[in-house]
Amino acid sequence: MLEQGSGSIVNVTSVHAEVGAERIAAYAASKGAITALSRSLAVEWADRGVRVNCLAPGYVPTDLSSGLLDSPRGEGIRARIPMGRTGVPHEVAGAAVFLVSDAAGYTTGSTITTDGGWTAW
């Protein structure tokens, strides 16, 4: 991308890079590192035509989250989401498609959060 002078990188972080939760300190720290790396690269590579952004999904049923979401704690999580439900993969994918599209041509160093309002609290 740097050689051709254009491109778009979308790194996947998490709402837990911004909002703390118990028992996920290492996960949250690693996602926070992705966010920081993305912002630094966005600044470093902007004048070379490469955009770097993050996508921060909230709770979406995946192999990683299904045990939690199917547990008694899952109901409490859904109750805290203003939209009252978890996301679905195509909703997160839509945000990624936007970030790599020409419509986001002036977007770099940003994080798009797709969390049903979780971080709006």
Superfamily covering domain 7-115: NAD(P)-binding Rossmann-like Domain (3.40.50.720)
CA–CA distances in Å: residue 1 to residues 79, 89, 107? 42, 27, 16
Question: What digits encode the pLDDT tens for the residues 61-76?
Answer: 988 888 889 899 899 9
pLDDT at residue 9 tops 90: yes
Q: Which helix (H) or strand (E) holds 33?
A: helix 25-45
Question: Are residues 118 and 19 in contact, defined by beta-carbon separation less than 8 angstroms?
Answer: yes
Residue 106 annotated as catalytic: no
Tell me the pLDDT band of 90, cut-offs 50, 70 and 90: very high
Q: Tell me how far apart the 2 most distant CA atoms of the chain are, in Å.
A: 51
Question: Which residue out of 18, 19, 27, 96 is catalytically annotated?
Answer: 27
Question: What digits encode the pLDDT tens for the residues 24-42?
Answer: 999 999 999 999 999 999 9
Question: Domain spans of the chain?
Answer: 7-115
